[in-house]
Amino acid sequence: MKQENRPLVRALQTFKSQEPISFHVPGHKHGLLSDLPDELGKALTYDVTELSGLDDLHEPEGVIQEAEELLSTLYQSNQSFFLVNGSTVGNLAMIYATCQANDTIIVQRNAHKSIFNAIELTGARPVLLSPPWDEYTRTPGILTLSQVKEALVAYPDAKGIVLTYPTYYGVVGEGLRKIIELCHERSIPVLVDEAHGAHFIAGRSFPDSALEAGADVVVHSAHKTLPAMTMASYLHVKSNIVSVDRIAHYLTMLQSSSPSYLLMASLDDARAYVQSYTLEDERHFMNTRKFFIDKLRELQNIEVVETDDPLKLLIRKKGYSGFSLLSEFEKQGIFAELADPFQVLFVLPLLKEKTNYMYEESVERIKRAVRRLNEKDMEEEAEVILLDEGISTLSYPIQELNGMKKEWRPMDQAEGCIAASSIIPYPPGIPLLIGGERVTEKHIKRLEQYLRLQAKFQGAIRIEERQIEVAVIDGGISC
């Protein structure tokens, strides 16, 4: 089986070459009835359905099966799946496959909101582990072996542990393999949201994948670091504990019954891209990356922080928040992944040898942005506000909150209340406050800090009114 093959892409090309006439869905009829701009409309000729020769994602036996087998071979899994509903659906499926109502599941606190949504839907009871603060990147880091060991002793009946690796900022830390071994000694499956690590297989310059470390189920956002379309993701199972059939069962339930062939074709293409990544490609990427970093470091008062993942760069400007820096970048046409109180996060392209990027032009634009920022008053340095580390649980099961009365309350009067639902800075989509948690002074300080810096939020917060939603329990406010 040749890895460079793109069986689904090839099948779509063959289908289009037949000049087919559509008496089937979708209703745009190969783009004929669409008023989208020409550049978008052209793609609709490949936006088809489960026709002869194009296979069926939910019962693959042809080109989709072949494409998924190529994916599995590349990542050395027992079985791999295409995901057309994003990594979210992969996170949902792996938790549904391992947990039921009232089961205990151990979760890394700085997980994506989709993990907590999955736990809420299953009715499982999360045990939260807050990782140590990583001062180098000024972000929450990775769990330690001792933290996991303590949690397993305290909760020996846990049905699984969910890890985020790498973090959104590219931190991988040390000890993942030992954590997995510790869990497997107790027959506890390790589920890894590796959304930002689909490219780790590309070469030695990148960290090891959680699959290589022995994780049972791993989810990849192919669209984040590989050349796949938004929402296009992978799920891999490599386990003697987690049933592949259960994963497949829940994916069939949770994924669209009308999957996008454009997304699936891009997954086929992204797999071929990373599989064909050569040592020469890797050298080219690392050399162009070094050029970019060196040029950035020549700029006045700009700090460039390299993380464990070479695709991630943190950019800081002394005297200014990441939000202020990003605002000036965007005025110059530089759009980054996210900002936080301390920095801006760049996600670099995984270039191949014959592909260049607009790094020189980017440096010139960044230089203009920095010059404009220098004309503004310096800001008070953002305070590092750490939430409590260690083991915690929700003060009230989120499932039981859903049917309760809720009330909006001023943030400065919410300490001690039970959060009615999650409050999430977006991006990165990591809850600052989880529904069912008791609001602490530190939560309020973090919220106020992000609001001052004009961060964007999802969830139960009224930004203008400075209010959050809290639960009303037994007829009274839960404070």
Question: Residues for the chain: how many in total?
Answer: 479
3-state secondary structure of 21: coil
Mean pLDDT of 149-167: 98
Percent of the chain whose pLDDT exceeds 70? 98
Task: Please check the confidence at residue 442 and state whether its pLDDT lies above 70.
Answer: yes
Under 8 Å between Cβ of 222 and 198: yes
Task: Please check the confidence at residue 259 and state whether its pLDDT lies above 60.
Answer: yes
Range from 109-113, 231-235, 326-330, 389-393 carrying the lowest mean pLDDT: 389-393
Rounded to whole angstroms, the maximal C-alpha distance in the chain is 68
Beta-bridge mates of residue 106: 127, 161
Looking at residue 258, the DSSP 8-state letter turns out to be: S
Identify the band that residue 478 occupies on the pLDDT scale cut at 50, 70 and 90. Answer: low
Mean pLDDT of 363-382: 94
pLDDT value of residue 385: 86
Identify the band that residue 4 occupies on the pLDDT scale cut at 50, 70 and 90. Answer: low
How many Å apart are CA 386 and CA 140, to the nearest integer?
A: 9
pLDDT value of residue 359: 98
In whole numbers, what is the pLDDT of the chain averaged over residues? 95
pLDDT value of residue 214: 98
Global pTM reads 0.95
In sequence order, what are the residues at sequence separation of 6 or more whose Cβ sits closer than 8 angstroms to the Cβ of residue 275? 3, 4, 70, 74
Task: Please check the confidence at residue 1 and state whether its pLDDT lies above 80.
Answer: no
pLDDT value of residue 474: 73
Identify the band that residue 110 occupies on the pLDDT scale cut at 50, 70 and 90. Answer: very high
pLDDT value of residue 3: 52
Range from 183-187, 230-234, 291-295, 379-383 carrying the lowest mean pLDDT: 379-383
At 392, phi and psi to the nearest 5? Answer: -145, 165
Mean pLDDT of 161-167: 98
At 431, phi and psi to the nearest 5? Answer: -60, 130
Higher pLDDT among residues 447 and 401, named by residue: 447
Mean pLDDT of 63-85: 98
How many Å apart are CA 260 and CA 5, to the nearest integer?
A: 20
Identify the band that residue 475 occupies on the pLDDT scale cut at 50, 70 and 90. Answer: low
For residue 441, the number of C-alpha atoms closer than 13 Å in the C-beta half-sphere is 0
pLDDT value of residue 2: 53
Under 8 Å between Cβ of 44 and 12: no
Mean pLDDT of 440-452: 93
Mean pLDDT of 180-195: 98
Mean pLDDT of 22-28: 96
Identify the band that residue 400 occupies on the pLDDT scale cut at 50, 70 and 90. Answer: confident
Q: What is the pLDDT of residues 48-57, one digit of tens each?
A: 999 999 999 9
At 331, phi and psi to the nearest 5? Answer: -65, -20
Task: Please check the confidence at residue 277 and state whether its pLDDT lies above 80.
Answer: yes
Task: Please check the confidence at residue 476 and state whether its pLDDT lies above 70.
Answer: no
